[in-house]
Amino acid sequence: MNISGNTILITGGTSGIGRALAEAFHKQGNQVIVTGRRRNLLEQVTAANPGMKAAVLDVQDSNALARFAESAPRDYPGLNVLINNAGIMVPENLHQPDDSTIASTIETNLLAPIRLTLALLPALQKQPRAAVINVSSGLAFVPMAITPTYCATKAAIHSWTQSLRHQLKAAPVQVVELIPPYVQTDLMGEHQRTDPRAMPLRDFIDEVMEILRTQPDAQEICVKRVYPLRFAAEQGSYDQVFAGLNGDAARPRSSH
């Protein structure tokens, strides 16, 4: 995809990777629309980025998602890029499972991007050029055992993205998977934002934008820090990487 001249909708755009992507694309001259559950956070984002637009959306609410998908093409007729970024990551003890945590993780990380993509697809296909970018995770390829549902949903998004790409191969809609490593965000709490083991958010976004700029036809966006996870199976290092990732459950290494 071109990194300028688009109308881009980003879910989960009030913090972390979502906000940083929104601001990076905004600086490139795109019309960016961010969504999130809390109006006050959305207002903070748009106040800091004049010209950016925002819409309240709880992606776990299937009815709200359907209403939003119906109105979005009317409200933003140039909409040609969807970035499914909203996600939650919660540690789980499978000896004492919490059904609500499991359900909300699946709703947010898997069902919401599927529903929103399919609902917006007719409008996207009417554009001369369009793209769907699904944010998965390095943990889609090697799971972190303390967050089993998160990892499972990201693996499912990877698989679904491949199928979507294949079915749209004759359509003017590029399908891209963005695969983050462990990044300094608040995804699993404030400690992650300053964890020296995590990739600085600014460095991650800069590398992502450079890949998009230099490889406009890329199907996967992988910064170098995610290579050990993304290519563990291909490189024959899966067992070693899995053991390293899960050897100390008290010190989680999240991704995205």
Q: Which of 76, 150, 182, 227 is catalytic?
A: 150
Question: Over the range 217-254, which residues count as b (16 or more CB within 10 Å of their CB) and which as e?
Answer: eeebbbbebbebbbbbeeeeeeeebbeebeeeeeebbb
227 is catalytic: no
Q: From 12, 37, 60, select the one nearest 178 (Cα to Cα).
A: 12
Secondary structure class of 85 (helix, strand, coil): coil
Q: From 81, 101, 70, select the one nearest 24 (Cα to Cα).
A: 81
- Give the chain's radius of gyration (CA, Å): 17
> Terminal CA-to-CA distance of the chain, rounded, Å?
22
Asked whether 82 and 133 are in contact (CB, 8 A), the reply is: yes
Question: Over the range 57-76, which residues count as b (16 or more CB within 10 Å of their CB) and which as e?
Answer: bbbbeeeebeebbeebbeeb
Tokens found for residue 68:
């939003």
Tokens found for residue 18:
């979502």
Secondary structure class of 56 (helix, strand, coil): strand
Asked whether 197 and 182 are in contact (CB, 8 A), the reply is: yes
Query: Catalytic amino acids?
Result: 150
